[in-house]
Structure 1
Amino acid sequence: MESTLKAHLLNILEDLLEEELVKFKFQLTNIALSEGYNHIPRGTVQQATPVTLADLLIRYYGEEYAKTVTQEVLKAINQRSLLEKLHQSMEKSGSSAQKVAKKTNKRKQENEAGPNEDKQQLTISKRFRNIFNQKKISNESAPYPRDPQPSNDKEVTTKNQYFHDLIRRLNLDSYYPKKMAKVNSLLINKTSLHGTQPRAETELTFCFLEKLLVLDYHLRYLVYRGNIDTISTVSQTLRTTEQERTFENFFIIKETQSNAVQIYIHPMDIQMAIFHCADDFTRQYIFTKLSICQFALPLLVPNPCNSQIEFPLWSLRQIRRSWREVEKIGWEKKIRNYNNQLISWQPIHIISFIRVGNYVSTSKSQILNALLSKGKHDHFSSHHSREDNNRCLLIDGMVEICWFCPGGRAEDRFENCIAFTNLHGNAEIHERQVKFLQQVSSVTVILLSTSNFDKMTSSLLLEFWNSPKPLICLFENAENIMDENSAHKVRIGIKNLNKIELADKITATLTQLLKKSGSPYSLSDWANIARKYEFIIDEDQRGCQEAGKKADILMDILRKVKLPEIKEKLLPLQGGLWRDWCKKDKELHQLREKGNRSIEQYTNEIEKEKQIIRCEQYHKVINLNDLMKSLFESLQSHPETHTELYFLQGLSMLMDQLTTGELEKLHQRHRFLLAQV
Structure 2
Amino acid sequence: MSMCQFSVPLLLPHGNNNQSTLMLWALRDIVKEWRPHHLSESRGFVEDNIIQADIPFYSFVRLKNCSLSKSQCLNHVLSHGQYNNNMFIHRDMEGVAHERIIANGLVEVCWYLPSGTENLDIFPEPVAFANLRGDVCESLAQFTFLCQVSTATFVFLDKVEEEEHKILTSLQDVKSKLFFIVNRKEGNVTEDMVSVEKTQKELDLPKTSVKIKDQKVNVAEFSDKLCTAIKKSLTDVTTTMTIENMLERAVELGLSVDERTSDDEKKAAQEIVKGIRVQHIPDYKNQQIPLQGVN
Specify if TM > 0.5: yes
Q: Residue 399 of structure 1 aligns to which amino acid in structure 2?
A: V
Instruction: Provide the rounded CA distance (Å) in 1 between the counterparts of 2:207 and 2:252.
Output: 26
Question: What is the number of equivalent residue pairs in this alignment?
Answer: 250
Q: Could you tell me which residue of structure 2 aligns to residue 33 of structure 1? A: none
Q: Does 1:490 align with 2:209?
A: yes
CA RMSD in angstroms comes to: 2.9
1:632-643 equivalent positions in 2, closer than 5 A: 642=267
- Deviation of 1:466 after TM superposition, in Å, equals 5.2
Aligned amino acid, residue 462 of structure 1: T
CA contact (8 A) 1:469 1:517 kept: no
Q: Name the CA shift for 1:489/1:434 in 2 (closer, same or farther; >3 Å).
A: farther
From 135, 139, 148, the equivalent of 1:439 is 148
How far the C-alpha of 1:489 sits from its partner, in A, is 5.7
> What CA distance in whole angstroms lies between the structure 2 residues aligned with 1:437 and 1:292?
25
How big is each residue's C-alpha offset from its partner over 1:48-91, in whole Å with a ceiling of 9 and x where there is no partner? xxxxxxxxxxxxxxxxxxxxxxxxxxxxxxxxxxxxxxxxxxxx
Q: Deviations over 1:13-34 (max 9, x none)?
A: xxxxxxxxxxxxxxxxxxxxxx
Gaps of 5+ in 2: 194-199, 275-295
Aligned residue runs from structure 1 range 309-388, under 5 A: 309-327=20-38, 336-339=44-47, 341-356=48-63, 358-374=64-80, 376-388=84-96
The residue type paired with residue 236 of structure 2 is K
The one-letter code sitting in structure 2 at the alignment partner of 1:308 is Q
Deviations 1:202-228 (A, max 9, x none): xxxxxxxxxxxxxxxxxxxxxxxxxxx
The reply to whether residue 305 of structure 1 matches residue 19 of structure 2 is no
TM superposition shift of 1:491: 0.8
Aligned equivalents of 2:97, 2:236: Cα separation in 1: 42
Contact kept? 1:436, 1:533, Cα under 8 Å = yes
| Residue in structure 2 matching 1:504, options 209, 224, 236 | 224
Tell me if 1:529 matches 2:237: no
Q: Distance in 2 between matches of 1:447 and 1:334?
A: 40
Quote the Cα distance in structure 2 between the aligned partners of 1:488 and 1:517: 19
SS at match of 1:436: helix
Q: Any idea what SS the aligned residue of 2:235 has?
A: helix
Residue 404 of structure 1 deviates from its aligned partner by: 0.6
Distance in 2 of aligned mates of 1:509 and 1:327: 22
**CA shift in 2, pair 1:543/1:304, >3 Å:** closer
Could you tell me how far apart the structure 1 residues matched to 2:103 and 2:114 are? 28
Is this contact kept in 1: 2:73–2:220, CA < 8 A?
Answer: no
Higher relative contact order (CA 8 A, sep 6+): 2
Confirm or deny that 1:415 pairs with 2:124.
yes
TM-score for both structures, normalised by structure 2: 0.76
- Contact persistence 1:488–1:513 (CA under 8 A): no
Q: Could you tell me which amino acid in structure 1 is paired with residue 22 of structure 2? A: F
Partner of 1:430: 139
The alpha-carbon deviation at position 487 of structure 1 amounts to 6.4
> Which deviations, in whole Å up to 9, do the C-alpha atoms of 1:499-549 show, x marking residues without a partner?
3321221121112222223411112101222111121112123649xxxxx
- Check conservation: 2:11, 2:106, Cα contact below 8 A: yes
Q: Distance in 1 between matches of 2:163 and 2:43?
A: 46
Which runs of structure 2 are paired with 1:74-473 in the superposition (5 Å)? 290-327=1-38, 336-339=44-47, 341-356=48-63, 358-374=64-80, 376-409=84-117, 410-450=119-159, 453-454=160-161, 456-464=163-171, 467-473=174-180
When the two structures are superposed, what TM-score results if normalisation uses the length of structure 1?
0.34
2:260 alignment partner in structure 1? 540
2:181 pairs with 448, 464, 474, which one? 474
Superposition pairs for residues 577-592 of structure 1, below 5 Å?
A: none
Q: Distance in 2 between matches of 1:508 and 1:527?
A: 31
**Distance in 1 between the 2:41 and 2:137 partners?**
44
Distance in 1 of aligned mates of 2:161 and 2:207 = 25
Residue 422 of structure 1: CA displacement? 0.4
Please give the secondary structure, in 2, of the residue aligned with 1:304. Answer: coil
Which amino acid is the alignment partner of residue 56 of structure 2? Answer: H
Q: Which has the higher helix share?
A: 1
Distance 2:97 2:107 in 1: 22
Question: How far apart, in 1, do the equivalents of 2:245 and 2:23 lie?
Answer: 14
Change (3 A) 1:459 1:466: farther
Which residue, 510, 514, 529 being the options, matches 2:234?
514
After superposition, the Cα gap between the structure-2 partners of 1:413 and 1:468, relative to the gap in structure 1 and judged at 3 Å, is same
Letter in 2 for 1:349: P
How far residue 455 of structure 1 moved from its aligned partner, in angstroms, is 5.1
Instruction: Report the residue type matching 1:311 in the other structure.
Output: L
2:38 alignment partner, SS class: strand
Partner of 1:664: none
The one-letter code of the counterpart of 2:68 is T
Identity fraction in percent? 26
Query: Could you tell me how far apart the structure 2 residues matched to 1:351 and 1:394 are?
Result: 24
* TM-aligned CA deviation for residue 380 of structure 1: 0.4
Q: d(CA) in 1 for partners of 2:182 and 2:18?
A: 31
Separation in 2 of the partners of 1:542 and 1:454? 42
Counterpart amino acid of residue 355 in structure 1: R
The one-letter amino acid paired with 1:427 is V
8 Å contact kept, 1:324–1:336: yes
Q: Distance in 1 between matches of 2:161 and 2:75?
A: 30
